[in-house]
Amino acid sequence: MNIFQHTSSAVSSERRQIIDAYYTDEKKRVHDLMSELEFLQAHKVEIEHIATDLVNTVRNEKSDQSSVDALMAEYDLSSDEGIVLMCLAEALLRIPDKETEELLIRDKLTAADWEKHVGASESLFVNLTTRGLSMSGKVLQDQSQSNVFQKLWYGLLSRCGEPVIRQAVRRSMKIMSEHFVLGRTINEALKNAKPFAEKGYLFSFDMLGEMAKTQAQADHYFEAYQHAIKIMGASKEKLTDFSSPSISIKLSALHPRYEFSQKEMVVPFLIDRLKTLALQAKEVGVYVTVDAEETTRLDMSLDIFEAVFLDSAFHDWNGLGLAVQAYQKRGYFVLQYLIALARSQRKKIPARLVKGAYWDTEIKLAQVGGYPGYPVFTRKVSTDISYLACAKLLLSAPDAIYPQFATHNAYSVAAILWMTRGKQASFEFQNLQGMGKPLHNVLVDPEKYAAKSRIYAPVGRHADLLPYLVRRLLENGANTSFVHQIANPEIPVATLTRNPIDQLKSYPEISNTKIPLPSHIYPDRKNSAGLDISDCNALQSLMQKINAFSKTEWVATPLHQPIDLSQAVAIKNPNDRNDIVGYVQMADEATMSLALSQAKAAEFSW
């Protein structure tokens, strides 16, 4: 059963650390990371000063805030109205018929109190949108309690207005979704990128598409990557340094069964696919980043990345990078592994450090699976601490790593700027299209920080947008989101520039007490325990238990009948027909007669 055989690694000690940290104790892991960040306390004033300057500059440049940013600031996910807008943005993309569209719009718009938001925003766009939502909600409501004039007015609007409302809402949701996408095609995205490039931004294009469900879908995404690389390479002069445009590749888009149970089949296939794309990209001066996905895929992604990175075709190329999630307890160890891998080949790896976009999914999957713990930190501030510890590690290895810091958090940015002060450090910041642009405009401003920043720019049509859009709406709409808070003048600057270690110390426990371990999610009973087959340690433990019985030859034979294996039937392992588990000897006629007579005799005593 090859699923249980962990692929050997050229840097096995680093891979062993990654494996062991999958479900490690959160308290111990956070304490270990905090021990790497003593400088945050020692230089607290300097770092907070930089963060304060960033926040104040962003708030003073209100013109940088887009209409959609202002809309999401007014309607965050802590409000009923914010949830309504997210539901509409997410669901309308998937509804094919007008009747269902109208039912959804009627249900959502009439369930919210839009009036309380009228005039609450400084944005004309937001106030006009609110007026429209309020009017639409009233038109769609039951007007039986209204006076006669209101009934006549809203009745008239209702008869002629529902198609208009449907079109207006769909158009509004389309605008909101397109806010996070740079273009429908790579050509359109390159055109739309020009104004940002003039400000000094670099680009990493992401062809929308993940979790392919069929091989045809996977082939379509593969061809989309090939086409994008071709167009990107032809669009400008060939570059050979880290300023080159890059393309982000999701491995789940390239195979419909990218899951641990299919590892034996999937990993070789994806190694070949990634190598093909990387060779094409190398030829035209485009860099490649393997994107981060769910935690269950991390081990496979490292096998695939390592195989391509070590391929002799790329012995002189520093263009293959990897995204690493700081919210994973394993994140720091993944970076240690990348550093060792790069040094073993005397090359550099572009490492994109992100905080992670699948947190809700990871928590829920661990609970549903009944796993021993969570693979991610349960407090956001712990992720912030992990992020800065990882950033420090990346900056300590300039010979092996080109750091790419994807963050919209002013304190994280300030700490990185402080760590690189007075140094000729080679690194860049990154930001998501449609998010955090005011902060990054300050960073790339030659009169301010003159830093490099790369836009992670999704490209694609609505059919491929949904998974990405939902993650962005959740992230951008949450009232705990830094992007949301930095635009809200009612939140004190000091709140946004607070040291994450100080924040964590304000809690009674390091782990989030509102998120019990998966075994304790029910109040009156324990959750059933499950097995995470992507956890190599858990698999190894299972195999040891299986192997303890593997040499036992099981024999099933009738009582009172001599064993005669020449008459027995071999029972074979359905997974390996050469593996005989044991034998079954069938009862003969005499034994059956004896059994029936004994059963008859015991009938009344039973």
Write down the domain spans for the chain.
2-59+182-520, 67-177, 553-601
Question: Exposed, middle or buried by CB within 10 Å (0-12, 13-18, 19+), for 604?
Answer: exposed
Sheet holding 554-556: strands in order across?
A: 554-556, 576-584, 569-573
**Strand 576-584, strand 569-573: pairing:** antiparallel
Number of other CB atoms surrounding residue 546 within 10 Å:
11
pLDDT number for residue 181: 86
Helices assigned H by DSSP within 235-356:
263-284, 298-309, 331-345
State the pLDDT at residue 239: 60
Q: Residue 256: left (phi > 0), alpha (psi -120 to 50), or beta?
A: alpha
Identity at 437, one-letter amino acid code: K
**Structural contact between residues 27 and 378, judged by C-beta atoms closer than 8 angstroms:** no
Residue type, 583: Y
What integer pLDDT is reported at residue 125 of this predicted model?
Answer: 43
Matching residue, tokens 């079109």: 167
* List of the chain residues with pLDDT < 70: 1-11, 62-90, 93, 106, 108-177, 236-240, 462-463, 465-467, 469-480, 484
Q: Are 469 and 93 in contact (CB under 8 A)?
A: yes
Whether residue 80 contacts residue 113, with contact meaning beta carbons closer than 8 Å, is answered with: yes
Where does 7-147 have alpha helices with state H?
12-20, 26-34, 38-42, 44-60, 67-74, 80-91, 98-109, 124-140
* Residue of 409, 420, 378, 394 lying closest to 332 (CA atoms): 394
Give dist(CA 602, CA 524) in Å, integer. 44
| 2-59+182-520 belongs to CATH 3.20.20.220 | yes
C-alpha span between 544 and 535 (Å, rounded): 15
SS3 readout for 393-454: HHHCCCCCEEEEEECCCHHHHHHHHHHCCCCCCCCEEEEECCCCHHHHHHHHCCCCCCCCEE
Is there a contact between 338 and 401 (Cβ–Cβ < 8 Å)?
A: yes
**pLDDT given at position 136:** 46
pLDDT for the residue numbered 16: 94
Between CA 56 and CA 75 the distance in angstroms is 23
Question: Tell me, what's the pLDDT at 1?
Answer: 43
